[in-house]
């Protein structure tokens, strides 16, 4: 793989505007009318959210990520996707580059809701 060019420089404030937190994926549910999408129920410590993510086809058994902590953007406006409301965005590594994605996960367990940055 040849890395993509680095995107244009942004102000530090642009990064600080994103609220990126650790959450535990407690449930993965298939969205049967789609070829890529699943519904994640994610525990952020003080609340849970549904996040729609394009994970089908990336793993043999999507249930293997249940119980896994990962990074999520939590301050995006809710968005309707295929009749479902997504309340955040899962971070993964590789999908933008066309390689099999890996979840962005902490090196050790941290409290749900902990902020990244």
* CATH number for the domain harbouring residue 34: 2.40.50.140
Its pTM stands at 0.92
* 3-class SS of residue 27: strand
Q: Is residue 109 part of a domain?
A: no
Q: Is residue 75 part of a domain?
A: yes
**Containing structural domain, residue 81:** 19-102
Query: Which residue from 12, 74, 5, 13 is spatially nearest to 43, judged by alpha carbons?
Result: 74
Q: Is residue 113 part of a domain?
A: no
Question: 116 pLDDT exceeds 90?
Answer: yes
Q: Is residue 69 part of a domain?
A: yes
> Between the CA of residue 61 and those of 20, 57, 84, 99, what are the distances in Å?
26, 9, 22, 18
User: For the segment 86-115, what is each residue's pLDDT rounded down to a tens digit?
Assistant: 999 999 998 888 888 899 999 999 999 999
How many structural domains compose the chain?
Answer: 1
User: For the segment 4-63, what is each residue's pLDDT rounded down to a tens digit?
Assistant: 999 999 999 999 999 999 999 999 999 988 999 999 999 999 999 999 999 998 888 999
Classify burial at 42, counting beta carbons within 10 Å of its beta carbon; exposed 0-12, middle 13-18, buried 19 or more: buried
Query: For tokens 């995107």, what's the residue?
Result: 7
């Amino acid at each position: 793989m040849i890395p993509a060019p680095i995107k244009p420089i942004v102000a530090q404030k642009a990064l600080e505007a994103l609220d990126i937190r650790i959450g535990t994926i407690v449930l993965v549910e298939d969205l049967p009318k789609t070829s890529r999408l699943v519904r994640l129920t994610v525990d952020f410590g003080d609340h849970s959210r549904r996040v729609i993510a394009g994970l089908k086809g990336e793993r043999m058994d999507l249930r293997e990520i249940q119980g896994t902590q990962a990074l999520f953007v939590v301050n995006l406006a809710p968005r309707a996707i295929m009749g479902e409301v997504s309340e955040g965005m899962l971070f993964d590594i590789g999908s933008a580059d066309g390689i099999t994605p890996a979840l962005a996960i902490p090196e050790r367990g941290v409290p749900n809701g902990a902020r990244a940055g």
